[in-house]
Amino acid sequence: MARRKVAAAKPKKVVKSIIKKRSVRTGTNRPAQIKADPKVTAPYNNGWPELPPPSTEPWGQAGKALEGVRILDFTHVQSGPTCTQLLGYMGAECIKVERPGVGDITRGQLRDVKGADSLYFTMLNGNKRSITIDSKHPKGKEILERLIKHCDVLVENFAPGALDRMGLTWDYIHKTNPRMIVASVKGFGPGPYEDCKVYENIAQCAGGSASTTGFREGPPLVTGAQIGDSGTGLHLAFGIVTALYQRMRTGRGQRVLCAMQDGVLNLARVKLRDQQRLTHGPLTEYSQYGEGIAFGKAVPRAGNDSGGGQPGWILKCKGWETDPDAYTYFITQAPVWGAICDLIGKPEWKTDPDYATPPARLPRLRHIFNTIEAWTTTMTKFEVMEICNKHDIPVGPILSMNEIAEDQSLRATGTVVEVDHPIRGKYLTVGNPVKMSDSLTEVRRAPLLGEHTEQILTEALGYSAEEYAAIKASGAITPPEKKETEAA
Ligand code: COA
């Protein structure tokens, strides 16, 4: 009651000016301190005197979450770009630095439209501006120094040592801008493999995912979800936002490192859980237990077993003979066992001691799932979903990428977004998977190579038109071929 009174007492004009103040950049890269009236803010602040009173702006109109944060985006391929694109979705200003004439290697990889940047690139680099700089050119180094002073966070995922070889050591960056956060993705953390270059599948293998994925009889398997690249980019974004938050208190930046091996292991933590459980006995929820097959020293591949102790499996649905995705995931959750028995025409299983309890069912899971499958094959995966949902039975259709691309509910929520590109035309991208009620996301197309070089140099970094012309002539922002022509 008292809170509402306080908020209502705050005139809108004042609140607006506070919001403006917070988004104005200070020379220190820190949001301006708000001198709030302690009587007004006390009920909300929990000991944080700089918090302004709660905004009375309409929801979604009080600015984006990371508005005012500037990212010096030195990323390439997938892991780093995933991170900076997410920060861009959240409102950060991303300045992507690319090698003149070359750019991020993915611009040209897996090309589907001649002459256009690939979907590999465009789907990972939305909400960014592109500037080309030869980071090894003396003039290029000078521009980078300005960018380091201008930005809050440098994000990179070069091979180990590459940033240092450019002269951009932590000591140099920290001296140039003590507030800068330097965030890196590397394949491995400190240790025997720290110097290795790493790609997605290597991380999946080294992080414990591949050895625990696939069928027992088959080889280790990598997953389609890019848990090594995109997963680590996501971890890095979390680290950066946390470092920005800590900087509000300490005033200084720090290094943030995400090793891909660590990121994958974090996502595979339930398998490390099972590794430890193995020392106390067999893993009873794995179907190999029910089949009487002994466990070895390490967590085995569990096929499509459900990981959470509620037995599940992938079952065929109507049309499976011709449609490779006509399947459903089916979980025999204990509380709805009775409903499952009724639906599949086996009401006697509700009381049969061989089937009535979860432990009794464990040795018979294959037979049980075969029986359920005889029922699911009479319906489409969507019909199975509809019927089972009515009984609270957890099932999920196996959706193809084709179905996901056409799914209107994903379009409506902005999870799948259509973007227009000047060269390739319209394309689909994955929008912000995180939905926030007061920080709306706008998804913008990926930039062309060097599209914003002049704009960033003159508007953001303050170079005059003459200085820009001199930089251009120096070869620091143009492809090497041009340098040779100009020199001739
Ligand atoms: N101007 C001048 N040189 C530039 C430049 C620029 N704007 N941008 C990059 N370069 C140079 C780098 O300085 C480096 O040169 P150096 O080796 O002489 O020091 C060179 O380009 C290549 O960088 P590198 O990172 O080694 O690229 P790569 O194509 O050989 O390796 C990876 C690619 C992904 C294997 C490697 O970057 C890596 O292991 N990254 C960390 C882990 C990771 O993120 N992996 C997942 C990728 S999705």
Encode 433-450 in three state secondary structure. CCCCCCCCCCCCCCCCCC
Query: Which residue is closest in CA terms to ligand 1's atom 26?
Result: 159
136 lines ligand 1 (CB under 6 A): yes
Query: Which residue is closest in CA terms to ligand 1's atom 8?
Result: 99
CA of 168 to the centre of ligand 1 (A): 14
Minimum mean pLDDT range among 10-14, 112-116, 447-451: 10-14
93 lines ligand 1 (CB under 6 A): no
Active site residues: 229
Q: Closest ligand 1 atom, CA of 228?
A: 46
Query: Which residue is closest in CA terms to ligand 1's atom 11?
Result: 162
258 lines ligand 1 (CB under 6 A): no
State the pLDDT confidence band at 21, using cuts at 50, 70 and 90: very low
Supply the pLDDT for residue 135. 97
Minimum mean pLDDT range among 15-19, 168-172, 421-425: 15-19
Q: Which two tokens stand for residue 153?
A: 């966070």
State the pLDDT confidence band at 25, using cuts at 50, 70 and 90: very low
State the pLDDT confidence band at 207, using cuts at 50, 70 and 90: very high
Supply the pLDDT for residue 3. 33
Mutate which of 197, 204, 258 for ligand 1? The one with the most ligand atoms within 8 Å of its CB, which is: 197
Query: Are the C-beta atoms of 484 and 100 separated by less than 8 Å?
Result: no
Examine the pLDDT at 8 and tell me if it is beyond 50.
Answer: no
269 lines ligand 1 (CB under 6 A): no
Rounded Cα distance between 385 and 388, Å, is 5
CA of 110 to the centre of ligand 1 (A): 19
165 lines ligand 1 (CB under 6 A): yes
DSSP H or E segment with residue 154: strand 153-156
For 466-475, the pLDDT digits (tens) are: 999 999 999 9
CA of 103 to the centre of ligand 1 (A): 11
Q: Which two tokens stand for residue 452?
A: 């914003």
Supply the pLDDT for residue 306. 87
Q: Is 173 exposed, middle or buried (0-12, 13-18, 19+ CB in 10 A)?
A: buried
198 lines ligand 1 (CB under 6 A): yes
DSSP H or E segment with residue 425: strand 425-430
For 231-267, the pLDDT digits (tens) are: 999 999 999 999 999 999 999 999 999 999 999 999 9
199 lines ligand 1 (CB under 6 A): yes
* Start-to-end Cα distance in the chain: 77
State the pLDDT confidence band at 73, using cuts at 50, 70 and 90: very high
Q: Which two tokens stand for residue 151?
A: 């930005």
pTM for the predicted model, two decimal places = 0.90
For residue 392, which phi and psi values (nearest 5 degrees)?
Answer: 60, 25
Query: Which residue is closest in CA terms to ligand 1's atom 16?
Result: 162
DSSP character at residue 456? I
Examine the pLDDT at 46 and tell me if it is beyond 90.
Answer: no
Supply the pLDDT for residue 307. 75
For 83-141, the pLDDT digits (tens) are: 999 999 999 999 999 999 999 999 999 999 999 999 999 999 999 999 999 999 999 99
Q: Closest ligand 1 atom, CA of 79?
A: 48
Query: What value does the mean pLDDT of the chain take?
Result: 90
DSSP H or E segment with residue 98: strand 93-98
Amino acid code (one letter) for 51: L
Angle formed by the axes of helices 260-267 and 230-250, nearest 10° = 100
For 279-328, the pLDDT digits (tens) are: 999 998 898 998 899 999 999 999 999 877 789 999 999 999 999 999 99
79 lines ligand 1 (CB under 6 A): yes
What Å distances lie between residue 338 and 197, 343, 378, 408, 453, CA to CA? 53, 9, 20, 34, 65
CA of 159 to the centre of ligand 1 (A): 5
Query: Which residue is closest in CA terms to ligand 1's atom 20?
Result: 162
Which positions ≥6 away from 371 have C-beta within 8 Å? 344, 346
Rounded Cα distance between 10 and 17, Å, is 12
